[in-house]
Amino acid sequence: MSERRTAIVTGAARGIGAAVAKRLASDGLAVGVLDLNADSCAETVEAITSAGGSAVAVGADVSDEASAEAAVEKVAAELGAPTVLVNNAGITRDNLLFKMTVEDWDSVLGVHLRGAFLMTRAVQKHMVEAKWGRVVNLSSTSALGNRGQVNYSAAKAGMQGFTKTLAFELGKFGVTANAIAPGFIETEMTAKTAERLGVPFEDFKAFNAKEIPVQRVGQPEDIAHTASFFISEGAGFVSGQVVYVAGGPRD
């Protein structure tokens, strides 16, 4: 990479976001490590800086307009204009439709879709100015439908449409937009699902691994690897794509 770029990774205190932040830092980018609470980002920032990289912790709620915009400007001021954005922050509020509350619906669409919209709108001006940019959005295999997740499935399918439209609108500014749709990844999110179902996490992982063609559950680094490809200089002709990183085919 000829000049150092700055990235923002949302939901980067742990799980997939933390792995993506560390990977982008090892690829040579300065990284705004964003999560709800700046203190929770300390571990990710420390891992990056102790390896010789550059990172700053940013506390922000991506679903709040003022908070998202302030976060982008903080990163711009401390690390330089961000031209890479990974919209990774996410939550689940699973329930069957008849039991799902409006709060369950609004909070999930709020973090994923409203959050990705607010963050991308705030970052795009830096990308347009630089005539270069990379947006990577986290979708999910749940975009194809998953029992108990009407809110999450709608949000993750929405991320795909959002990504494709970004690719159309921003392409002429040298900006690509792509989505990663992970299958089962071992993180707190899936650990909490196991807990809610009353199944030990080890059993839950083993059960899921049997259904996955490569016979294992995914790790956050599997997603970080794909994000690294999408943000690379050489991937400038790849845009509007959704890659299922799920240990097997999905459609």
Ligand X SMILES: NC(=O)c1ccc[n+]([C@@H]2O[C@H](COP(=O)([O-])OP(=O)(O)OC[C@H]3O[C@@H](n4cnc5c(N)ncnc54)[C@H](O)[C@@H]3O)[C@@H](O)[C@H]2O)c1
For ligand X, the binding residues (CB under 6 A) are 10-11, 13-17, 35-36, 61-63, 88-91, 111, 115, 138, 140, 182, 184-185, 187-190
Cβ proximity to ligand X, 6 vs 10, nearer residue: 10
Smallest distance, ligand X to C-beta of residue 1, A = 25
Q: Is 152 a catalytic residue?
A: yes
Smallest distance, ligand X to C-beta of residue 131, A = 28
User: Which are the contacts of 66, defined by CB distance < 8 A and separation ≥ 6?
Assistant: none
Smallest distance, ligand X to C-beta of residue 20, A = 9
- Across the chain, the runs of DSSP E, i.e. the strands, are 6-10, 30-35, 55-59, 82-87, 133-138, 175-182, 242-245
Q: Are 209 and 146 in contact (CB under 8 A)?
A: no
Smallest distance, ligand X to C-beta of residue 139, A = 7
Nearest to 92 by CA among 19, 22, 191: 191
Cβ proximity to ligand X, 31 vs 91, nearer residue: 91
Give the span between the Cα atoms of 222 and 135, in whole angstroms. Answer: 18
Cβ proximity to ligand X, 112 vs 132, nearer residue: 112
* Residue of 152, 204, 230, 244 marked catalytic: 152
AA identity, residue 242? V
The CA radius of gyration of the chain, in Å to the nearest whole number, is 17
AA identity, residue 52? G
Cβ proximity to ligand X, 10 vs 124, nearer residue: 10
- Give the side-chain half-sphere CA count within 13 A for 195: 6
The residues annotated with a catalytic role in the active site are 152
